[in-house]
């Protein structure tokens, strides 16, 4: 199948089948960039409400750049892969500072910006500025591998280069933004991972995977990373209705979000045992009222399974509570303040089920 025939077919299919999505009704690079970052590792149905909320809160790149980190993280709360939100914020600040609030048009200049890789740069350059850049995402890998019988490993550098080359060969340079959206939409709706619509596919007679019954074998991808199991015990000093919380560091999951002082172990342990072995809490153990809040919470991430328990440590009224919290790298927040903090979904679920903020 030649380049012109392929692009003509897939663009024709696109105009007949495309979903009505808000970022398709604009050439504003800010909104296109925002949608692309939100939809990384995220289904459209899940990402769409976040897109609308970000546009409402931060209607342009200057408003996003001037927002606080907590405001951005709170808007992102629940979407996961929080490094995206931090990069989003950093990118907005840099575009305002270096480019006076206007995204550069060229892909190579876009790739210098925080959080913008090869794919996102190509998407912005082609869709916002009409630059002849081909996108390659999971949908594109799948479509090209199946139709053209490409068995290169997409997790290997050589495999990625092979697909990038093929994508560039097929790109409709006259309307690159439309073509890129068309091939991605085709992968999302027609050439799907588990149940491709081969019977109604416009490429059924020319598709290598259908002819060889290889739909579920292509694209080829190396083994997934092993899932890591982690056990968290959250220790929550409480002073009346106020709870001690802390902001997570940048070197682990949920960076920039707020949770509690946590002790991680190889297996669940009794709270009293953990406190006895903790330098900051051991001296005050006799004064604590220890209460387990709920059972064992399970939270699943892509490469991690978190098992967490939440333990409330009520302090006597006369106790120097602020000093205790500070020793744990935390500080006390009222229920109203906690409601406004950006938190991991696991902690939000705990609050909802425990009723501690009511």
Q: Which residues are the active-site residues?
A: 36
Residue 271's Cβ-side half-sphere holds a number of Cα atoms within 13 Å equal to 23
Residue 312: strand pairing partners: 236, 291
Which residues touch 203 (CB under 8 Å, ≥6 apart)?
1, 9, 147
Q: Which of 278, 246, 350 is nearest to 307 (CA)?
A: 350
Structure tokens at 39: 């939809």
Structure tokens at 166: 């093929």
What is the residue-wise DSSP string for 239-253? ETTEEEEEE--TTST
Which residues touch 214 (CB under 8 Å, ≥6 apart)?
146, 149, 208
Which residues touch 270 (CB under 8 Å, ≥6 apart)?
none
Do the Cβ atoms of 123 and 31 come closer than 8 Å? Answer: no
Do the Cβ atoms of 271 and 285 come closer than 8 Å? Answer: no
């Amino acid at each position: 199948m030649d380049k012109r025939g392929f692009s003509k077919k897939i663009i024709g299919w696109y105009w007949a089948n495309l979903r009505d999505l808000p970022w398709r009704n604009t050439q504003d690079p800010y909104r296109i960039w925002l949608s692309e970052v939100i939809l990384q590792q995220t289904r459209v149905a899940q990402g769409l409400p976040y897109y609308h909320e970000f546009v409402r809160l931060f209607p342009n790149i200057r408003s996003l750049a001037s927002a606080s980190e907590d405001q951005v993280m709170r808007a992102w709360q629940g979407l996961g892969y929080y490094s995206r939100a931090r990069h989003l914020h950093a990118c907005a600040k840099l575009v305002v500072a270096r480019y006076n609030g206007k995204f550069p048009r060229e892909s190579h200049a876009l790739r210098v910006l925080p959080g913008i890789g090869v794919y996102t740069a190509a998407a912005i350059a082609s869709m916002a500025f009409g630059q002849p850049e081909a996108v390659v995402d999971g949908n594109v890998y799948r479509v090209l591998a199946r139709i053209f019988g490409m068995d290169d490993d997409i997790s290997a550098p050589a495999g990625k280069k092979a697909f990038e080359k093929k994508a560039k060969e097929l790109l409709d340079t006259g309307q690159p933004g439309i073509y890129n959206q068309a091939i991605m939409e085709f992968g999302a709706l027609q050439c799907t991972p588990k149940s491709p619509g081969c019977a109604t596919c416009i490429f059924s007679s020319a598709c290598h995977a259908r002819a060889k019954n290889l739909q579920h074998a292509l694209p080829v991808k190396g083994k997934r990373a092993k899932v890591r199991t982690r056990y968290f015990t959250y220790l929550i000093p409480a002073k009346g209705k106020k709870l001690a919380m802390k902001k997570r560091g940048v070197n682990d999951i949920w960076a920039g979000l707020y949770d509690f002082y946590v002790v991680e172990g190889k297996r669940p342990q009794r709270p009293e045992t953990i406190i006895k072995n903790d330098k900051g809490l051991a001296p005050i153990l006799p004064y604590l009222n220890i209460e387990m809040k709920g059972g064992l919470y399970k939270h699943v991430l892509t490469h991690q399974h978190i098992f967490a328990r939440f333990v409330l440590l009520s302090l006597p009224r006369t106790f120097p509570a602020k000093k205790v919290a500070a020793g744990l790298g935390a500080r006390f927040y009222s229920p109203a303040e906690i409601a406004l903090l950006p938190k991991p979904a696991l902690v939000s679920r705990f609050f909802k089920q425990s009723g501690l903020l009511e």
